[in-house]
Amino acid sequence: TVVSRGPLRSAIDGADTPAAMALSRLSRPFRQVARRSVQVSAARCYTPMIKFKAGSSDASSSVGNRSADELLVQLRQIIERDSTAGLHQLANDWFQQADVDNSRRLEAEELATLMEHVGLPLKGPEVQTFFEHFDTGKAGEISYTDFTNTLRGEMPQFAASLAFMNQYRGHYPSNLVALKSDLSIFDNDEAAEWAESIDAVVEHHGPLKARFLVHEIVDQAVRKGVKVSPPVTTPMLNTIPQSMEPEYPGNLALEQRISNLVRWNAAVMVSDGNKRASGVGGHIGTFASICDMWEVGMNHFFRGKKFPGGMGDQVYMQGHAAPGAYARAYLEGRLSLERIMNFRQEVDGKGVSSYPHPRLMPDFWENPTVSMGIGPLAAVTQARFFRYLHLRGMADTSGSRVWCFIGDGEMDEPESIYAIARAGYEKLNNLIMIVNCNYQRLDGPVRGNSKVIQEFEGVFRGAGFDCIKLVWGRAFTDLIESDPEGKLIDILERTPDGDCQRYAAKQDGALVRKELFEDNGIGHMVAHWSDEQLLAAFMQPGGHDKQKIYAAFDQATQNAERGGRPSVILAKTLKGFSLATFQGRNTVHQQKTMKDEEIMDFRTVLDIPLSDDQIKMGGAGLGGEFFRNPGPDSEEVKYMMERREALGGCYPMRMPAKVSSLIELPPSSNFEMFDAGNPKAMSTTMAFAALLRRLMKLGDFGKRLCPMVTDEARTFGLNAFFHEFKIHAPFGQHYTPVDHDSLMKYSEAPDGQMLQEGISEAGAMCTWIACGTSYASQGCPILPFFIYYSMFGFQRVGDFIWQAADARARGFLLGATAGRTTLNGEGLQHQDGHSLLWGMSNPAVIGWDPAFAYELSYVIEDGIQKMWGEDKDLIYYISVYNENFPMPPVPEVKTLGLSAKEACLKGLYKFAEAPAGKKHTVRLIGSGSIMKQVLNAVDLLAEYDVGCEIWSATNIGELNREAQRKERYARLHPMEQPPSFWVKDCLGDFDGVTVFSSDNITQYPQLIEKYIGGSCVILGTDGFGRSDTREKLRRFFEIDQESITVAALSALSRQGKIEPEVAIGAMAKFGITHDRPDITMDDCIPQY
């Protein structure tokens, strides 16, 4: 806050006093700030000026001999009297004094001067006494932090402890306590008998048995249809008892050999790749922790593309585990040795990608899952969209399920938590999530002080999931089931995850024996085991026991077939499992290479047929023998291929449909509805709604269009779609909407075509991806049109748009209410002027900024042709505006021989020729809603005998991309004539003035500035938005018709074609001045 006058300023302006002399060094920098702030100081000074008063009356009588503590008490009294404002004023004065020498610190005399101003004069030895109280480090000067920390005193203790791990988590007493005596159905005596029964169980058998008993009673009540909520957490046991496990259907011994080969090749792929190409990176530990689950799924559960009832399952693999998918594909013969030896080395086209990237491996991967959090939400919306296709009769997806592997650290992502809630209330029984609970993030434990499996169970069960816990392997389960009192389970539930991770990392059976068993008085339970046996049992949790994995997966798939809710498997694993030297350690995620000795140990554990010499040769990055493939005729590979054939083919595999051969596109006449113009005012948003409605009524093609909104349909004029096309609701509409008697009533239906996504751009964007990739996931092309507040697109969900491009999604994104001044009333957080520039960072995004309805229609036709007629994996982003104005007809003017439509689709076309007979001619270029301001400037410039040639720039980004491609060609072909490109052909041969105005920040049109001949002036909406009328906002950002006029005249004067006084006169006439106060940034940037 800048203070222009006050007690401190008064002291400076006063007589030649010691205080004035001490503060005189403030004057110069302070006055510089004050001068440039004089016009806005009233608006910017939020802290009222405070005239400090002295402390208590008895303080002055003891001046000269007060202690530091007494002085602190009096200073606090002075500040507290003026509350927060007083503290702010003190801070202002402090920094005015300290900023002079840029030290931001005060010496003893300076502190005394400040205290005198505050109202606490220091006399004699008090100056040094008080200063030394703050100067604890004896530095001879104090900072503001030193001052405030001492003034504040010691921080109070924060009331937190680890007691929460065992505290009662029940509900507060409910209103039933007060009501039960009034309910005739309630029998107090009967309730007392139930309570006494529980008391007796606790007394004679302990709380654990009572817990199990209550759980069973509640579960039985739920099974009988009683409306009671089950507990959100259950004992830390495997959900499926050993006695209920189904018989394993495969050859366990053979599958173990296959798992060992896959695990081996995945690990050495990363290690070998980093030794031959240092720094390419990769992750060894993640796949090691999910390998057993991955292999059980691949041999018995994950359905391939030929499986009946759809095109198989969709499996969202943890991105860091990608080497495991490559390792199996290598054994299957789908990836060559050369490719996996070039892990993360893709430039030459011989390698494989770091993570699941369909854009880089279009025949292999389907679903990008890195960065963190995008996989879970995408999996949920994919499952939902499969159901959408089925209920609308567009595709049979009855046999397609969605599996999603999630890291326990990834559960921290807000997208993961939202995904869980959404799957629950959508009742997506075709979804199976698997949380890989290895207890480790990238740096350390996920919840070192807690139990993540129990925590996650509460989250998932509370959201409506069927929760299957896969915690203990067979040996440890035997131990638990042999404990009739349940003491071991109680101990395990009280042992923090951080300790469990430590036991796994230390690999010391004696340590496990002592801390888990002997220290808790149950050492006798493991007396029959050696330390090695105990460690082996502890080190094989449920996520590494194939029998138990199969039981959990089998239960989850049964839920998918006949259940009414999604399933989650919480699997306890070890990060880096079988990699003895670093499994469970905090550094395992960063492990990129293995030493020869580590590889030899790994070989021994997995029983890989390699000699020490072969390992040393492979470890030096010298040979393919390092990788093991027994060949297509081996027992292992034959078994793998037989199992995959039974499940519908190898996986992962991407098989996109050739849409151009499947779908008949509508004739161009459907996109000519705006060619004649419309004298009735309308916005481009309304034009989009009218065009989309027309297209959706075009038979089979129309049924394949999917409009999507995030609870803003009425804002964008799509509320008429509610009744006509209906909102998709899988369970129908079981209520009477409040507007049921209106024409455009809110209608929901299982076969509804429109997707109402709620207030979640992230969720909507993931649904858009599922829709835009349906041509590949189900061979059923659906074209999404997602319309949203443009500010909440790239800025909020840019990561998901990048994921969409990676997934090769096709569709339209409509950034509605675009423009920093066109969306005038919403203010700083809503007004967008940079999405088109942001879109340029995504190579698959083609960003458009149409001004008129016919331009918009042409762009949508072009997008449909490119994406479905030519099978291009593109995303069309279109800015649409909410400003109404009459729409002009298509101009007849040619642009370098091309029609307006042809040139419009190249990104730039001539809208109008300059009139003859004017003394001077300028070119005006506009886009979006500011095109109207450009056209209005024509008449204003005519008053100065200036004619205007008008251009419409529909796509700056593609003009720039084309120019870069052609410039690269010229750079690499220096002997050839440089090729031409559209923007240079249109605008390059010109020595006059060009003014470009848009509702975007200036960096966007600057992408083509260097290709524009003559003098170019670019006007844009740089800076933060704010609320006001469009007229005032456009004047503030200087993009209105008057600012365009002045910019043209000023540039003409600089070219010497008119006198500067003409431009100055225009500025005076239109009220345009240099001064432009900006409360958002004036204190942050220099003013000119």
Query: Cβ(330)–Cβ(626) under 8 Å?
Result: no
Which residue has tokens 């079981």?
A: 734
Return the biggest CA–CA distance within the chain: 108
609 or 908: whose pLDDT is higher? Answer: 908
What pLDDT does 594 receive?
86
What pLDDT does 558 receive?
94
Closest Cα partner for 344 from 292, 278, 394, 401?
Answer: 278
What pLDDT does 584 receive?
74
pLDDT tens per residue across span 477-527: 999 988 888 889 999 999 999 999 999 989 999 999 999 999 999 999 999
Q: What is the mean pLDDT of residues 326-347?
A: 95
Q: What is the mean pLDDT of residues 585-598?
A: 81
The angle formed by the CA atoms of residues 221, 222 and 223, to the nearest 5 degrees, is 90
Cα 256 to chain centroid, rounded: 38
Q: Is the pLDDT of residue 869 over 80?
A: yes
Q: Is the pLDDT of residue 1005 over 90?
A: yes
| 662-696 b/e (C-beta count within 10 Å ≥ 16 → b) | ebeebeeebbeebeeebeeebbbbbbbbbbbbebb
The encoded tokens of residue 969 equal: 């060609």
Cα 161 to chain centroid, rounded: 32
Q: Is the pLDDT of residue 40 over 70?
A: no
Residue 176: pLDDT band with limits 50, 70, 90: low
Distance CA 782, CA 771 (A): 6
Residue 86: pLDDT band with limits 50, 70, 90: low
pLDDT tens per residue across span 393-424: 999 999 999 999 999 999 999 999 999 999 99
DSSP 973-1011: -TTSPPPP-HHHHHHTS--SEEEEE-SS-TTTGGGGGGG
The encoded tokens of residue 772 equal: 């835009």
Q: Is the pLDDT of residue 157 over 80?
A: no
What pLDDT does 110 receive?
86
| pLDDT above 70: percentage of residues in the chain | 89
Identify the burial level of 770 via C-beta atoms within 10 angstroms of its C-beta, where 0-12 means exposed, 13-18 middle and 19 or more buried.
buried
The encoded tokens of residue 2 equal: 């800048």
Could you give the count of Cα atoms lying within 13 Å of 956 in the half-sphere of its Cβ?
29
pLDDT tens per residue across span 354-400: 999 999 999 999 999 988 889 999 999 999 999 999 999 999 999 99
The Cα-based distances of 299 to 29, 112, 291, 304, 643 in angstroms read 75, 80, 12, 11, 5
User: Mean pLDDT over all residues of the chain?
Assistant: 88
What pLDDT does 3 receive?
35
List, in sequence order, every beta strand (DSSP E) within 918-992. 920-926, 946-953
pLDDT tens per residue across span 541-575: 999 999 999 999 999 999 998 878 999 999 999 98
Cα distance between the two ends of the chain: 21
| 238-264 b/e (C-beta count within 10 Å ≥ 16 → b) | bbbeeeebeebebeeeebebbbbbbbb
| pLDDT above 90: percentage of residues in the chain | 70
SS3 909: strand
Please state whether 674 falls in left (phi above 0), alpha (psi between -120 and 50) or beta. Answer: alpha
SS3 402: strand
Residue 386 identity (one-letter amino acid): F
Partners of 898 in beta bridges: 895
Q: What is the mean pLDDT of residues 118-126?
A: 89
The Cα-based distances of 340 to 12, 363, 405 in angstroms read 75, 16, 23
SS3 832: coil
What pLDDT does 59 receive?
43
Distance CA 593, CA 282 (A): 9
pTM of the full predicted structure?
Answer: 0.87
List, in sequence order, every beta strand (DSSP E) within 620-717. 678-682, 705-709
Orientation of helix 546-562 relative to helix 285-300, angle to 10°: 60
